[in-house]
Chain A
Amino acid sequence: MERKERVEKIKSSLSAEDVFTFEFTTASGILCTVIYADGITNKQFLGEQVLKPLFGYDGTADLDSLLRSVAFPEIKKCKDEAELCKEILFGNAALLMEGVQELVAVGVKTVPVRAISEPPTDIAVRGPREGFIEDIKTNMALVRKRLSCAELLFETVRVGKRSQTAIAVCYLQGIANEKIKDDILQKLKEIDVDVVPDSSYIAKMLSPRPLSLFKQVGFTEKPDIFTCKIAEGRVGIIVDGSPLAVTLPYMMIEDFQSAEDYYVSPYRATFTRFIRFFALIVGILLPAFYVGAQLFAIQIIPEDLLLKIAGSVRGLSLSPSMEMFATLLVLEILNEASIRMPKYVGMVLSIVGALVLGDAAVQAGILSIPTIIIIALSGICLYTVPNLTDSMSVLRILFVLIAGTFGPFGIVLFSLFVLYYLVTQEGYGVPLLAPFAPLIGADFRDSLIKESYMRLGYRPQVLRLQNKRRQKEKK
């Protein structure tokens, strides 16, 4: 096929107005055409590194000679026009030359990216402050910078019929469980969606139970955490356009661990992990127990406190469960609004919401002070484990409704139900509640308890890795 025909074919496939065609002749008279997409192609680079040398080329129409004149390493030969079109849409430039049958794409892609900054989630007082950004190449570089070993491999697949989003599956060869990696790659290849705007889409599709209330995959915005998880033998997934990287397999205990735990003393880390765990339980169950106790088991409240509560709730028109439910609902609304609103409005909102609204509701006899205190405490407690806040706040509302209907007995039953549900959950052969259910003693060293890093000689057993030994242990 002649160059002109090919150009026509490509132009008919890519009729968008941001796709440009540029024709020129080399010094030896070879007609060339460059096709590129405006905005995502680095034109300066294309001009200086590719076109300028070609203008001065005075040899024959031989691809190898032509390419040797171009001072550029990223040259890809495409098998057909369709593949070349894809390359153009990814931001690369197509190069077609008279008398040359091969189709060539030049890697001059450029995308507008923001600077690397500290992520809003996963904030650590000590430790690195770099966060992933929306560009997959930058994110891969951030990982490579920390794991400069030949075993670190990236396998890129494109997902999304229309978005053709690049997704990099990242793992350590010889350490990560091959079956898990293959399963993930297989699942990624089977995904049939239009567009992948964020890694959350991929996370849902890789989840063993996508409809579950509980998280099934690990998320992180920090390359240091991501790297550590990869080094532990997990498989990481970086999605182009998303600053949130995904790690698999996921265990719930991961969310009780923070990056800082590894930078402070193990005693402090263990203490804070227990605090997080305790706070989460209090955050979920405190409102429910308060409602249950008021309605069904007053005996569990100390007498003095009971008198104070009785004084506070006298004259309230709402039942305890409705009062708690309504207040929780308001908390969720405030939370939702404060996240979406601009920062300066958010400040006003928190003052209006927390102070004015709360105080006025108490003054008007709509809400009682103990309820406000309990909701505030519960709200704070849930934020000690930010990655679980979403699911746990739903669980908290369910517990309140159950406590209002069946009292503390309902709380016990529902807790057992949740526990039983969680112990049956597995993803990629790894139980969600490991290392507690099933109990894996060796993995306890970095669970709620955090031992010194020098004693963490082995990677988590539950991941069934190829290479379990991490480092030499110091006693």
Chain B
Amino acid sequence: MKEYSMNVRQVCFWCAAMLPAIKLITLPSSFAYYAKDDLILSAFFNAVISLGVLCLVLLTAKRSDKTFLELVRDKFGKIFTRIFAGIYALFFFMLSVLFVLEQKGFTETTFFDIPSTAFGFAPFFLLSFYLCLRDFRSVGRSADVVLPLFAIGLGLLLSVSVGSGDYLRILPFGGNDFSETWKGTVKALAWFADPLWILFFVGRFRYEEKCARKILISYAAGVTVFLLFLWLFYAVFADIAIRQIYAISRIGQFSEAIQLIGRVDFFAVCMIAAATLLQAILPIQLATKCLAYAVRLPVWASALIVNISLFGLIFLAGNSFSFVQKFICGDMLWSILLFAFALPACSPLLTIGKQR
């Protein structure tokens, strides 16, 4: 009998905590930049696209209990699968650059009063290396622990900031130029590559009755939390929203309670940061696993290669997050559309003729 390394609940938790958490850092200001007061609409389009692809990914999970790479191997053979895994390793690596640079900027702004040295962010790679050595069982169990942390953190952050907003600023709804709103959607696709993460969880959890429904509801709940946060974000910052790149570290500071008792919201930010870090490390873990599969390396060697390369690239890139964002979400958009949306959407084709 197949031993599964995750369970449905852990996938649900991942959808409800880690996936929305990573979107809370720079994405709100990016949406505000393109879609202005229609930022919720812009994000909603993203959510609909991701939900649609996620449904197809879950169809794959329903039909087969094999992992994505095993399905590809069954269909196209070992050699092709190794090349395919190598390409995916590169894609995950590219996404990692984006997410890690985002984390670096967030970290330097939030956790350091004075600009930190390059050394300040280096321990991230030690953690990332350690996590890369672990299997999917650990990924699932970390979701069990981090979901309550994220929930408490976000709850605390929302409770201190909810009184500082003007919630009607978002009106009139739909008044913005639609092409700009859509542009916001397109530019945010990298952060909504969620079906891809779930695709790589497929075959590692037992598909049970109502499993798809549970995962979809969890994902919808996570997205709803994000949409509500966007509303709060725009209500608090309004016209200066586009300049609030790292919104979660700033959104609570206008609260009167904060003025009196100090930045308790900082602890909430730390809790949310735990969830964002785990999600930022997930593509690095997947890149490690795909590379190990592609070139038949031991996992530690693959993890070492990926993390050292990433470390070098991040420090060469310095603070050029916006440049990297433009490159990945603009010039390399085709790769996101292909690897994060089109291929996962086609994944049920791999299971044609297969029955559980």
Instruction: Please report A residues at the B interface, Cβ cutoff 8 Å.
Output: 296-303, 305, 406-417, 419-420, 423-424, 431, 433, 436-439
Contact of A420 among B10, B124, B138 (CB under 8 A): B138
30 contacts between A and B (CB under 8 A): A296-B112, A297-B113, A298-B113, A299-B266, A300-B266, A303-B262, A406-B123, A408-B111, A408-B270, A409-B107, A409-B120, A409-B123, A410-B123, A412-B111, A412-B273, A412-B274, A412-B277, A413-B123, A413-B126, A417-B127, A417-B130, A420-B131, A420-B138, A423-B141, A423-B145, A424-B138, A431-B141, A437-B145, A438-B140, A439-B144
Contact B137 A416 (CB under 8 A): no
When distances are taken between beta carbons in the complex, the residues of chain B under 8 Å from A415 are: 274
> When the two chains form their complex, are residues B266 and A437 in contact, meaning their CB atoms are under 8 A apart?
no
CB of A417, distance to nearest CB on chain B (Å):
5
Is B142 engaged at the interface, CB distance under 8 Å to the other chain? yes
How far apart are the CA atoms of A297 and B115 in the complex, in Å? 11
Return chain B residues, CB-CB under 8 Å to A297. 111-113, 266
Query: What is the CA–CA distance of A370 and B267 in the complex, to the nearest angstrom?
Result: 20
B296 proximal to A (CB < 8 A): no
| Proximity bits, B132-155, A CB within 8 Å = 1, else 0 | 001001101110111000000000
Cβ B130 vs Cβ A438 within 8 A: no
Instruction: Report which of B114, B134, B263 forms a contact with A424, defined as CB distance below 8 A.
Output: B134
How far is A203 from B112 in the complex, measured between Cα atoms in Å?
Answer: 43
Complex formed: what's the CA distance from A300 to B116 in Å? Answer: 17
B255 at the interface (CB under 8 A from A): no
- The total of chain B residues at the interface (CB under 8 A) is 36
Partner of A437, one of B123, B142, B274: B142
Question: What residues on B are CB-neighbors of A437 within 8 Å?
Answer: 141-142, 144-145
Closest chain-A Cβ to B315's Cβ sits at a distance in Å of 16
| Complex contact A433–B141 (CB within 8 A) | yes
User: Across the interface, do B274 and A305 meet the contact criterion of CB distance under 8 Å?
Assistant: no
Tell me, in angstroms, the Cα distance from A297 to B138 when the chains sit together. Answer: 31
A412: chain B residues at CB < 8 Å are: 111, 270, 273-274, 277
Question: Is B111 in contact with A416, judged by CB distance below 8 angstroms?
Answer: no
Q: In the complex the two chains form, is A300's CB within 8 Å of B277's CB? A: no
Question: Contact at B262–A305, with CB atoms within 8 Å?
Answer: yes
A-chain residues with CB within 8 Å of residue B10 when the two chains form the complex: 438-439
Cα distance, A346 to B131, chains bound together (Å): 45
Q: Which residues in B have some Cβ–Cβ distance to A below 8 Å?
A: 7, 9-10, 107, 111-114, 116, 120-121, 123-124, 126-127, 130-131, 134, 137-138, 140-142, 144-146, 260-263, 266, 270, 273-274, 277-278
- For B112, give the chain A residue with the smallest CB separation: A296
| Residue picked from A298, A417, A436, A439, most chain B C-beta under 10 Å | A439
In the bound assembly, the distance between CA atoms of A438 and B113 in angstroms comes to 37
B11 to chain A, nearest CB (A): 12
* Docked complex Cα distance between A409 and B276 (Å): 13
Least CB distance from B9 to A in Å reads: 6
Known: A297-B112, A300-B262, A301-B262. A420 touches B142 (CB 8 A): yes
Cα A424 to Cα B144 in complex, Å, equals: 12
- Chain B min CB distance to A398 (Å): 13
User: Which B residues are in CB contact (< 8 Å) with A433?
Assistant: 141, 145
Given contacts A299-B113, A412-B111, A433-B141, 9 further A-B contacts (CB under 8 A): A299-B263, A302-B263, A414-B123, A416-B277, A420-B134, A436-B144, A438-B10, A438-B140, A438-B141
